[in-house]
Amino acid sequence: MQVTIKKGEPVIASPAQPVQEAQEGDDDPPDHNPCLKAAASISTPKPAGRLVRFPTHRTGILSPAVRSFRKRHFPNVPNKLWNDWQWQTSRRIRSLSQLESMICLSDDERAAFTRTEMVLPLGITPYYMTLVSRDDPNQPIRRTVIPTIHETARSIGEADDPLGEDGMSPIPGLVHRYPDRVLLLLSDFCSTYCRYCTRSRVVGHGGIHHSRNRLELAFAYIEQTSAIRDVLLSGGDPLMLGEEKLSWILSRLRQIPHVEILRIGTKVPAVLPQRITPRLVRMLRQYHPLWMSLHFTHPDECTPEALRSCNMLADAGIPLGSQTVLLKGVNDSVETMRSLVHNLLKMRVRPYYLYQCDPITGSAHFRTPIEKGLEIIRGLRGFTTGYAVPTYVVDAPGGGGKIPLMPDYVVGREDDVLVLRNYKNQLYQYPESGYISI
């Protein structure tokens, strides 16, 4: 799809204020406790050099689908509110009655609400809901966020914690699987819940709090473990925290001498691009080297709003990579994946990982055979730029870590010659014998 930006109303974020949530045990976005503000003001380093002013990007009502959706469901909401990330978060679609007023539910979708209790709560921002088909239950975007009865079916080999994260957590919310890096879960709150979420056992239930006491325990563990050089912040979505709290966390980590790299895992640019504000970006750029792992699943997510948010992050010097989960009926074709990775590159996002869907409980309807992923890599390698080809991995069940999978490009050996197959399925020989002196 062609990604363009049209002129419209400015994106204006309202002053920071708590967003009230009251259902399904969701952890609230952060409050603005004066004590936390004081802590942040003490520990946050002053930015060096001149102040960089990011342009005010202008976005309006960008497509007939968005215009129709807003006219039908939010007729009196001005652009200023629509483009406010806190308004978007507080108006999430979270109930069966709301869905019924917006889309025509299929029997399988309705059964998810009426026949059983969902493990993962429902949550979709109004912005992301504009990408959901009203009538087609098989539309890719719709399948990723609208629950179905298939979520309740448990297949052989599935588990609530397939990656064994709980068994590798020396501190609650801190996962130490690899020698030199840790995963720090800041909260369990997301603005939009993906139905294939690996952490559906904890996300959206209020069990992971961004409390200072818990985080200080995690910081102490990192400080005492000098092998840790890389910290990945995830959750939930770290960017759903307020700037003060997130700045305090990044600042505390930056005070640990052996921590070299900070990373943030987020789906915000895809589901809530309004969250990427000049204020947020100015704060983030103080903590370089800072990397960001984004989560894009389908080319329909590559909207002008997503382009704007990624441009702001890239302009701040933050390298962006996308981690895409391979999903049956969503992106499991060479054509769809090629469109996605090409759009990501235009948005200055490097396709990083293509994940085989983890065997979480109730995920059978999303999982593809391994051969499907290999087919997609074969369809990309050589047929498009190398930057567009992600690494296909299985995150090994039980905590084995990421294992890369590649098509069989090495055919075999003949004496001192390596026989290779190229992207056109043609065979070539590469001499591996040592140098001969003359």
- Identified catalytic residue from 84, 190, 367, 392: 190
Verify whether residue 358 is a known catalytic residue. Answer: yes
Average pLDDT along the chain, 438 residues, taken 10 residues at a time: 40 35 43 40 45 52 78 94 96 96 96 84 96 97 96 89 91 95 95 92 78 94 98 96 97 98 98 97 98 98 96 98 97 98 98 95 94 97 97 93 93 90 93 64
DSSP string covering 103-140: S---HHHHHHHHSS--SSPP-B-HHHHTTS-SS-TT-H
402 belongs to the catalytic site: yes
| Alpha carbon distance 374, 376 (integer Å) | 5
Backbone conformation region of residue 419, classed left if phi is above 0, alpha if psi is from -120 to 50, else beta: beta
User: What is residue 14's predicted lDDT score, i.e. its pLDDT?
Assistant: 35
Give the separation between CA 116 and CA 123, rounded to whole angstroms. Answer: 17
pLDDT of residue 45: 47
Which listed residue (94, 181, 252, 263) is catalytic?
181
Q: Which of 91, 94, 143, 177 is catalytic?
A: 177
188 is an active site residue: no
Per-residue pLDDT at 209:
78
Contacts of 302 by beta carbon, 8 Å cutoff, 6+ apart: 1, 3, 296, 340, 343, 344, 346, 347
Two structure tokens written together for 119: 């493990």
The predicted pLDDT at position 4 comes to: 42
Is 428 noted as a catalytic residue in this protein? no
Question: Which residue is catalytic, options 199, 254, 263, 267?
Answer: 199
Packing angle between helix 34-43 and helix 243-254, nearest 10 degrees? Answer: 40
DSSP label at residue 220: H
Establish whether 300 is a catalytic residue: no
Q: Is 263 annotated in the active site?
A: no
Q: By the 8 A CB rule, do 290 and 284 touch?
A: yes
pTM of the model: 0.85
For residue 352, give the nearest of 302, 396, 296 by alpha carbon: 296
194 is catalytic: yes
pLDDT of the residue at 99:
96
Determine the Cα–Cα distance for residues 317 and 273; give it in Å rounded to an integer: 18
Q: Is 104 a catalytic residue?
A: no
Active-site pick, 70, 160, 178, 372? 178
The reply to whether 190 belongs to the active site is yes
